[in-house]
Structure 1
Amino acid sequence: MTPFVIQTLFLFYSALSFLSATLIGALFWKRNDRSAMLWLCGCLLTSIATVTTIHRNEIPLTISFSLMVSLEALSVLLFSESLKRLSRNQANISLSWTTFVIPIALFVLVEVWRLASDGKVTPAITAATTLTFAITNIFCLYRTIRVKKEFQNKLFFDFLSIVFGLVSTLYLLRLLIIVSGYSGQSFDIKTLNVIVWFGLFLFGAIRNLAYIVLRLHLGFSEHTRLSSMNIQLSDLLDERNEMILSLQKLNRTASINALASTISHEINQPLAASRINAQMADLKLASDPPNVPFIRNLVGHILEDIDRASTIVQNVSRLTTNKSSNQSVIHLSESIHEVIEIARGQLRERGIMIELACSSEIKISINKSEWQQVLLNLINNAIQSLAEGKPAQKKIHISATQTAQHIKIFIEDTGPGIELGQESKIFELAFSNKESGSGIGLWLSKNIIRNFGGDITAQNLVNGGACFVIKLPRTPQQR
């Protein structure tokens, strides 16, 4: 066996280290992965240090040996820093100052020691540097054991720990060879020396490969974890949507119940009028001769009253249905007018005047049932606010404007307004400043509008009262 054989081992290990760096760079290109980049730098430094060892006769002895050992120590310390950044808590921390101080101190120490030994690299210097390599690899072993505690699958971490342990053991064996006097030179062709170097290079290459496999495994595990989280999130969103649908139905019922007395009154009125007119028509039919024109007039009134009651029932029925959120293009003013008619009795009973200033040309793309539920919630809130505040003039004003991109609906009242600081809180779930409030209506209304790409905000008017602004996007069908 010749020295060329050992130099070939060094050269081959240098090539493998460079290949590992290239592979890591390709796998983590543009991913801003600090752990991978630090391991890549460690592989490159190992490659440079090994090449420096091979060509140390061609480099001034004043720096060749010192440069080699300091670069090799730095590379192992970078491996340790790389492993540290696999921890989720330390992924973005700065490099430890010891990572650079130890190699610099080693460079200075070896140079001073060599100069003190007449410029020669003595077995004592070689032993000291070998011990340094053993300690740095033991530190990597410690770091691997620490980091693996954060992960469920520890198989690849355990394998990497074994590799670091074996490398440390081989360096300690190399130290024993030097101290015993068996072989003090790197290129000594003695069998045990060659076996140690072969083992170090073999496990060094396996170490880099193990890191690559570890990162691929962690990437796959992270992908699996994220997929599982996405499935769980999807299930939670489905449950949330089911809850919202249930709350919508509950809120619609609560809103209708709040108007139940006035709706009953509104229906009873045309029914009572129809009964009176029917009785009068029956009397006129019994007369001789029957007053046909008068009876025909009474029948006309009866039909009008029936249509009026039917319209109220239909509007209420539409609000209490629980259909899916299918969008359709509807006329804004017509949809608002239908809700106003449902609340008309309560408005009249409480002396509240309602105004609608909305162009008949404005159209919105939305689910009509859900949209009218939002309107009913806001009109109910305005009615309650005006009843509690007892302003001199009770008025609700509904208006709308449109631009090329949006439609805005303004619902204003002359009540006491919103308590300062609660303009956004009133849309939170279970938040209510009314004793009888459930805290669902406004939260649900905001969710409904957001499902259709819009939003609801609330603000106080300068002259008193509150204003709710509904913003909806315009689609090409609405233009």
Structure 2
Amino acid sequence: MKYANEIFFLVFALILWGLLYGSRFILTLGKASQSEKLWLTALTLTATSFTLFALASTISLSLLTLANTCFVANFIYFGLFCRSLNGPIPKNMNILVLAGLLVFAVLFEYLRQNGFFIQRVGLISLIAASCFVWELRELRRLKEIRSNQLRFLIYTVAIELVLTIARLTALYIDGGLSTPNLYQEGVISSSIRWVWLGISILSYVAVLGYWLEKISIEKAQAIQESSKIIALLKEKERLIYGLLKANKTSATGALSASIAHELNQPLGASNLNIQFLKMKLEKGVISPELGKEILDSLEADNHRAATIVKSLRSIFIESDSSAEEVQLGNLISKVLDIVMPELKSKNIQIQLRVDEQLMVKVNATEIEQVILNLMNNALQALANSGTLQRRITIEATKSGQLIRLSISDNGDGVSAEFKPQLFELLSTTKQSGMGLGLWLCKHIVTRCGGSIHYEDTVGGGATFVFELPSAA
């Protein structure tokens, strides 16, 4: 049959172009990896070379140089693909490959015009055999070949290596020196060539199967991960439902604990005044003036306790906060009157930098409670520190439409581990205490449209800053 070789080449070319078309999913899945690009390049070069082999005898035999250059390039890029499975290929490798292919094309064209067919086949067989050995070495270097397709690829490449040597040997026996070109090759060597080219197609099929296998594994893993995420989301929903169900009980418990904590100060002060009053009565040395002073203190403590209860109840029951315009300096003075005895007993100095004209629209008693809580925190921090010159600084300034009030001490400050949850409910840095004071401060200030945060004091210590909208 006159055009048997051309028909075989054309059939093989169509098979390879079909494989290339079927591999387009690699490009549509997203950004192709280096390995995928190298394999697609090798497959394209092989399909192109087979197409040129099918056309060269009818168009021009000079196309054989281009066909064989593409054929050799396919071996090199397939080898680079195997190498890329073990690690990335340097970017400048393409330049070296193109330079080598240019040298090959010049040499092959010279042999086509001046040499023998067996010399050309020998050159291609040497390059092909070298690439097959390289491919086998790279595939064997893979630490653990879990893919059945890559295992199959090892066998096909090994068979290609054997057939390459067998073809060159058969061509020499068939009288390669007298064979003019590819299309007049002897029966034995040409038969081996077709088997070799068929096995090369199986190599490409094996790699295509490897990509499909890889995608299937990744899809299975994605489904598994998705199942885990769905399970976690369901667990989250169950937890949220449980928290919502327990919210009423938790709120009641938090309210009770808050009341117990916040009432400790006025009730403690009342208890001291009552004990003092009883002692004076038993001795019969109480004067009307002293009695009135003690009773006034008891009344003030009782009023403060009642206000605290009302304030705490408002946390869980939305109601009017009874805001009014007040001077911030007056609120600070009232708190200082309460804590002054303790300041003196612990030898703590007070530094005041307060603009007396600052006006805020708030519930006065609630803001007094915030200032008192922050002052008590500073007192306790200084009492537990080794600082000799103990000092609390209170500053109040206006910044735009906000009034900024800061209370600083020169104690030990707050350790880094406690800073993120300072204002959380039931979080405390104290050995005794229930972690409700700062949480309540934040709640009150937020209700007033303000904010509160912690800063480290320059030189050591803690600074609590809260801002409130200005009334003026």
TM-score by length of 1: 0.57
The letter for the 2-side match of 1:143 is E
Is the Cα contact below 8 Å between 1:10 and 1:54 reproduced in 2? yes
Partner residue in 2 for 1:109: 107
Structure 1 unaligned spans of 5+:
243-259, 282-295, 319-327, 362-375, 418-433, 472-479
From 395, 417, 440, the equivalent of 2:417 is 440
* CA 1:300–1:265: 2 relative to 1, 3 Å: closer
Structure 2 unaligned spans of 5+:
240-259, 282-294, 325-330, 363-372, 426-438, 440-450, 468-472
Superimposed CA distance per residue, residues 366-393 of structure 1 (whole angstroms, 9 cap, x where no aligned partner): xxxxxxxxxx999958985897778897
From 134, 138, 141, the equivalent of 1:143 is 138
- CA separation in 1, counterparts of 2:16 and 2:159? 18
The letter for the 1-side match of 2:10 is L
Does residue 1:168 correspond to 2:129, yes or no? no
Deviation at 1:161, TM superposition (A): 1.6
Identity of aligned residues (%): 12
The letter for the 1-side match of 2:270 is P
- CA separation in 2, counterparts of 1:470 and 1:75? 73
Structure 2 counterparts to residues 169-188 of structure 1, below 5 A: 169-181=162-174, 185-188=181-184
Q: RMSD of the TM alignment (CA)?
A: 5.8
| Secondary structure at the counterpart of residue 90 of structure 1 | coil
Is the Cα contact below 8 Å between 2:378 and 2:409 reproduced in 1? no
- CA separation in 2, counterparts of 1:186 and 1:33? 36
Is the Cα contact below 8 Å between 1:411 and 1:467 reproduced in 2? no
Superimposed CA distance per residue, residues 260-304 of structure 1 (whole angstroms, 9 cap, x where no aligned partner): 9999665421334466789999xxxxxxxxxxxxxx999966853
Is the Cα contact below 8 Å between 2:350 and 2:393 reproduced in 1? yes
- CA separation in 2, counterparts of 1:155 and 1:111? 41
From 210, 222, 229, the equivalent of 1:214 is 210
- CA separation in 1, counterparts of 2:408 and 2:301? 38
* CA 1:59–1:409: 2 relative to 1, 3 Å: farther
For these two proteins, the number of residue pairs brought into alignment is 373
* CA 1:446–1:298: 2 relative to 1, 3 Å: closer
- CA separation in 1, counterparts of 2:296 and 2:410? 47
Does residue 1:132 correspond to 2:130, yes or no? no
Deviation at 1:139, TM superposition (A): 1.8
TM-score by length of 2: 0.58
Is the Cα contact below 8 Å between 2:26 and 2:36 reproduced in 1? no
Superimposed CA distance per residue, residues 78-102 of structure 1 (whole angstroms, 9 cap, x where no aligned partner): 1222333344x42775436543343
- CA separation in 2, counterparts of 1:97 and 1:377? 72
* CA 1:379–1:186: 2 relative to 1, 3 Å: farther
- CA separation in 1, counterparts of 2:113 and 2:395? 95
- CA separation in 1, counterparts of 2:188 and 2:374? 88
From 196, 217, 221, the equivalent of 1:200 is 196
Superimposed CA distance per residue, residues 321-344 of structure 1 (whole angstroms, 9 cap, x where no aligned partner): xxxxxxx9x99x99xx9xxx9xx8
Partner residue in 2 for 1:56: 56
Partner residue in 1 for 2:118: 123
Deviation at 1:130, TM superposition (A): 2.3
Deviation at 1:11, TM superposition (A): 0.9
Partner residue in 2 for 1:100: 98
Structure 2 counterparts to residues 69-88 of structure 1, below 5 A: 69-87=68-86
Bigger radius of gyration, 1 or 2? 2
The letter for the 2-side match of 1:112 is Y
* CA 1:299–1:345: 2 relative to 1, 3 Å: closer
Is the Cα contact below 8 Å between 2:452 and 2:464 reproduced in 1? no
The letter for the 2-side match of 1:34 is Q
The letter for the 1-side match of 2:77 is L
The letter for the 2-side match of 1:211 is V
* CA 1:383–1:170: 2 relative to 1, 3 Å: farther
Superimposed CA distance per residue, residues 232-275 of structure 1 (whole angstroms, 9 cap, x where no aligned partner): 9x99xx9xxx9xxxxxxxxxxxxxxxxx9999665421334466
The letter for the 1-side match of 2:140 is I
Structure 2 counterparts to residues 35-434 of structure 1, below 5 A: 35-61=35-61, 63-87=62-86, 89-90=87-88, 93-95=91-93, 97-117=95-115, 121-146=116-141, 148-149=142-143, 153-181=146-174, 185-188=181-184, 191-222=187-218, 267-273=267-273, 303-304=302-303, 306-307=305-306, 349=343, 350=348, 384=381, 394-397=392-395, 412=406
